[in-house]
């Protein structure tokens, strides 16, 4: 027998007022606003404010919020020591997970959680890019970069920390759109793990640390990195088609395709990322990789009726923006921390311990066999 619902598929595990995913007549919305509108018109900070502080900010609120975030971008020296001591070969997701946990030990959430949780949420959002890229640049070249990037917006800040120079406008806009699209997605695995941790009344940093670990897996956020690694060696659309057919015949999964919720309808984030990938390719005067990606999308739909998810063209967009492949999933995390934060706050506001039950499928009750009598 066993449990009939594997992986909690289709199970409604709680209430949320933060986002709708695949909902009839609404699609993907953050607090009622469509991601199509938000990714086209809003900066990531506006969206983070919307998710965490529950309303779209006006001009003054947005500027005050940006200033607050800019002032929270640095990390303590003790944390720099931790980051410098991590191996250069560490995966950057492990670095972010460790950095978040270390920050929680250095600057713990206070007992006044109702107020302090907003400070912690903003602090994590503001400091994550520097935490990640301090470690990255230090191990790349020995440079101890400053958190003062000269960029007020998150997308520009990330790119300036990575490259040591201000970004081109089109690249900044593409990254901003990706951050908006990656910010939130209801009860996905990493958000759910954050809520499970929060439901035990554990602290904010522990919930986000758990979420980072969960996001890193290739069935979730890690898919963008894996998709790029799989596609990089392919030289032409025909070669890509052959490789995908070979993978499908071998019953292998093609990363960047399929989704627990978007089975009969496409992931609305995918077409937006695809348009950014097309624009960036055209701007660079090289459609080569784009055509390879597009052929893979065609083959996956023809053979398996599977749609590309956000990570497929998200990977190509990041590649074209000059983000190193191993940083794809961490950049996703820099955005998703806003959604995790909103869910931790929501979980705490009406908390009940999340503790489901299991269908037992092990042996019948039996007598204990003393150690000396075992075969
Ligand atoms: N490549 C090939 N076949 C696939 C893929 C894929 N990417 N995704 C699903 N399938 C097939 C499965 O093999 C299965 O076939 P079967 O019924 O013949 O066994 C069927 O489609 C159903 O797939 P499940 O894995 O059971 O569906 P589930 O809802 O559990 O999984 C998931 C969703 C994990 C996202 C899956 O589609 C997958 O592994 N995709 C690749 C990883 C990926 O891109 N993850 C990112 C998701 S988006 C995000 O997290 C931000």
pLDDT tens by residue, 229-265: 999 999 999 999 999 999 999 999 999 999 999 999 9
- Average pLDDT rounded to a whole number, residues 1-19: 92
- Report, as an integer, the average pLDDT of 137-162: 97
Confidence of residue 125 (pLDDT cuts 50, 70, 90): very high
Does the pLDDT at position 138 exceed 80?
yes
User: Is 220 in the active site?
Assistant: yes
* Residue of 333, 347, 348, 339 lying closest to 127 (CA atoms): 333
Domains of the chain and any CATH numbers: 18-217+327-349 (1.10.580.10), 223-320 (1.10.230.10)
Question: Ligand 1 centroid to 253 CA: how many Å?
Answer: 7
Q: Which of 11, 244, 248, 258 to mutate to test the pocket of ligand 1 (most atoms within 8 A of CB)?
A: 258
User: What DSSP line would sit under 63-121, residue for residue?
Assistant: HHHHHHHHTT----HHHHHHHHHS-TTS-HHHHHHHHHHHHHHHSPPPS-HHHHHHHHH
CA quadruple 97, 99, 105, 110: dihedral sign: negative
Strand arrangement, sheet containing 33-34: 19-23, 27-30, 33-34
d(CA 146, CA 132): 12
Q: Which pLDDT value is given to residue 204?
A: 98
Instruction: Give, using CA atoms, the residue closest to atom 17 of ligand 1.
Output: 304
Which residue, judged by its Cα, is nearest atom 1 of ligand 1? Answer: 253
- Give every CB contact of residue 30 below 8 A, 6+ residues apart in sequence: 18, 19, 38, 47, 50, 51, 183, 184
Question: Is 147 considered catalytic here?
Answer: no
- Whether ligand 1 lies within 6 angstroms of the CB of 223 is answered as yes
| Alpha-carbon distances, residue 222 vs 21, 92, 215, 229, 326 (angstroms) | 20, 11, 7, 11, 9
- The pLDDT of residue 3: 85
Average pLDDT on 108-132 reads: 97
24 pLDDT band, cuts 50/70/90, is: confident
């Amino acid at each position: 027998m066993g449990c009939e619902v594997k992986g909690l598929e289709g199970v409604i595990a709680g209430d949320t007022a933060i986002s709708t995913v695949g909902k009839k007549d609404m699609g993907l919305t953050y607090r009622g606003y469509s991601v199509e509108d938000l990714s086209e018109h809003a900066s990531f900070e506006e969206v983070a404010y919307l998710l965490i502080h529950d309303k779209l900010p006006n001009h003054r609120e947005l500027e005050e919020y940006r200033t607050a975030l800019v002032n929270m971008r640095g990390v303590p020296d003790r944390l720099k020591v931790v980051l410098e001591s991590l191996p250069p070969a560490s995966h950057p997701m492990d670095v972010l997970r460790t950095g978040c946990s270390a920050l929680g030990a250095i600057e713990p959430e206070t007992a006044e959680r109702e107020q302090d949780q907003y400070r912690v949420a903003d602090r994590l959002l503001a400091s994550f890019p520097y935490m990640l890229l301090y470690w990255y640049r230090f191990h790349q070249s020995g440079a101890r970069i400053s958190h003062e990037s000269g960029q007020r917006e998150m997308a520009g800040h990330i790119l300036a920390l990575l490259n040591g120079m201000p970004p081109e406008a089109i690249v900044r806009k593409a990254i901003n759109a990706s951050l908006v699209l990656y910010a939130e997605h209801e009860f996905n695995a990493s958000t759910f793990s954050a809520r499970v941790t929060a439901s035990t009344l554990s602290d904010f940093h522990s919930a986000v640390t758990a979420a980072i670990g969960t996001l890193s897996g290739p069935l979730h956020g890690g898919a963008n990195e894996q998709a790029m690694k799989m596609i990089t060696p392919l030289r032409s659309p025909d070669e890509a088609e052959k490789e995908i057919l070979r993978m499908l015949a071998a019953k292998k999964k093609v990363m960047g395709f399929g989704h627990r919720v978007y089975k009969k309808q496409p992931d609305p984030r995918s077409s937006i990322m695809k348009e950014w990938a097309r624009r960036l390719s055209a701007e660079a005067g090289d459609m080569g990789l784009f055509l390879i990606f597009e052929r893979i999308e065609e083959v996956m739909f023809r053979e398996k009726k599977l749609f590309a998810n956000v990570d497929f063209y998200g990977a190509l967009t990041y590649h074209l923006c000059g983000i190193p492949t191993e940083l794809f999933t961490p950049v996703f995390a820099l955005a998703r921390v806003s959604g995790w934060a909103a869910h931790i706050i929501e979980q705490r506001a009406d908390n009940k311990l999340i503790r489901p039950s299991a269908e037992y499928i092990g042996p019948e009750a039996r007598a204990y066999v003393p150690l000396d009598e075992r075969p």
